[in-house]
Amino acid sequence: MAMSRFESPDIMDARLPPGKGLPMIMVMGVTGAGKSYFINQMAGERVVEEGASLKSCTQHCTMVPISVGSVKALVIDTPGFDDTSRSDAEILGEIARLLAGQFTLGFELKGIIYIHRITDVRYAGSSIKTFEIFKRICGESAMENVILVTSRWSEVEESTGARREHELREGFWAYMLGHGSSLSRYHGDRESARAIASQLLLKQTVLLRIQDEMVNGGKSLDQTTAGSFVDNTLARQKAKFEKELKELEELRRQLRESDRQMRRQIQLDWQTQRGKLVDTEQQQVSLKRDIVGEVEEAIKTKKSKWLSGAKKALPLLPIAFNLLLMFVGLPPVAGVSDALVELFNS
Ligand SMILES: Nc1nc2c(ncn2[C@@H]2O[C@H](COP(=O)(O)OP(=O)(O)OP(=O)(O)O)[C@@H](O)[C@H]2O)c(=O)[nH]1
Ligand SMILES: [Mg+2]
């Protein structure tokens, strides 16, 4: 049988041997859900930025090393979908790249913590969309490695929170709970955050559907279940903009030459809609990425550069860690080797 790209020698010797990769946990949820707050509580210090306004805060995936009891792990903070400044396609691309890198390099994904504010009166459109994308990233077989977490309990009456929790259990979250996900209340402090993380750290390493589709199925991002969901949403948006542009063009045709002011206004509206259409088309193009190919290419190039200077001197883990950092768009960390040694010795 032909060797898959994934098994090429270039990739294989950058890969951590089984059991040697750090365990990883991802934290996801809509923007403002409290992902960064949760991670800071878990770390016991403010390691990632928290938002203080309605604008989305975390712009890129960030990795935070933590130790829970005797277990050392990497926790990944992710930007929320429905970000105020970045598109869903862009955020999905970043998460997919990180997940492809994590799997290829041999880090061990233990699961995902999905945070939702129990203070939210309704399950808003953005929450529904984010959850739909999230479900498709995981796939049914990975749902056992998901904890659905409700937060901000101190800000609601217990009975109100319990009613909303029941609604989530019976409604939006029923499918995932029925496939093995669990539900936890987060009480806003360090102990509670660590107790939730510990539940995942005990689990077997998991392969998410999006990883399986990209790495084993050779699919580009738009062909994955999560990617095609985002792509379909964009296709609907595109059709809507095209219809609106046609209507504006028709209106402009019908207006008399003398209605200058009106014609000018229609022209401005047309330009705005046209800009949105172009933006939507660009997002669709950005989904047609071969993420695994990008990751493999990056590993080959960077690995040989780093190995040539540091052969034998650096253990594999810091190199793999630096490669992974690169996938989340961060520069390699100077002294990462020390930081990891410290983490392992703490
Ligand atoms: N008291 C309290 N404040 C919280 C809690 N969770 C979040 N916050 C606050 O709510 C705001 C938003 O929280 P973040 O942790 O930045 O939210 P996020 O999910 O990381 O948001 P993005 O980075 O935009 O995706 C911040 O001011 C936090 O300090 C909580 O459980 N208790
Ligand atoms: Mg954040």
| 142-188 pLDDT tens trace | 999 999 999 999 999 999 999 999 999 999 999 999 999 999 999 99
Sequence-ordered list of residues with C-beta below 8 angstroms from that of 269, at least 6 positions apart, any chain: 248
Q: Please give the pLDDT value at position 337.
A: 46
149 CB less than 6 Å from ligand 1? no
Query: Is the CB of residue 151 below 6 angstroms from any atom belonging to ligand 1?
Result: yes
Which of 239, 272, 287 terminates a domain? The answer is 287
Q: pLDDT digit string (tens) for 53-90?
A: 667 777 778 888 888 888 888 899 888 887 777 889 99
Q: Predicted confidence band at 138 (pLDDT cuts at 50, 70, 90)?
A: very high
Residues with Cβ < 8 Å from 120, sequence gap 6 or more? 127, 164
Same domain, residue pair 115 and 186:
yes
Local confidence band at 26 (pLDDT 50, 70, 90 cut-offs): very high
Over the range 277-287, which residues count as b (16 or more CB within 10 Å of their CB) and which as e?
beebeebbebb
- Under the banding of pLDDT at 50, 70 and 90, the label for residue 312 is very low
Per-residue pLDDT tens digits for 90-110: 999 989 988 998 888 888 999
Instruction: Output the CA 33–ligand 1 centroid distance in Å.
Output: 6
pLDDT: which is higher, 254 or 309: 254
pTM attached to this predicted model: 0.86
Name the residue range of residue 175's domain.
5-219
Q: Is residue 321 included in any domain, yes or no?
A: no
- The residue whose CA is least distant from atom 10 of ligand 1 is 34
**Same-domain check for residues 101 and 188:** yes
> What's the CA dihedral at 67, 70, 72, 78 to 10 degrees?
-50
Task: Give the closest residue to 139 by CA, choosing from 105, 200, 192, 180.
Answer: 180
Last-in-domain residue among 219, 236, 259: 219
| Domains of the chain: total | 2
Atom of ligand 1 nearest to the CA of 115: 19
Does the structure show a pLDDT above 60 at 313?
Answer: no
Of 219, 244, 273, which marks where a domain is finished?
219
- Nearest protein Cα to ligand 1, atom 5: 34
d(CA 100, CA 220): 12
Q: Are residues 110 and 246 in the same domain?
A: no
Ligand 1 proximity of 32 Cβ (cutoff 6 Å): yes
Residue 337 lies in a domain: no
230 and 107 housed in the same domain: no
* Domain harbouring 10, CATH code: 3.40.50.300
Q: What is the DSSP letter of 139?
A: -
Residue 342, domain member (yes or no):
no
Assess whether the C-beta atom of 86 lies below 6 angstroms from ligand 1. no
35 and 164 in a single domain? The answer is: yes
- The residue contributing the CA closest to ligand 1 atom 11 is 51
- Looking at the fold, whether 188 and 259 belong to one and the same domain comes out as no
Whether residues 174 and 26 fall in one domain = yes
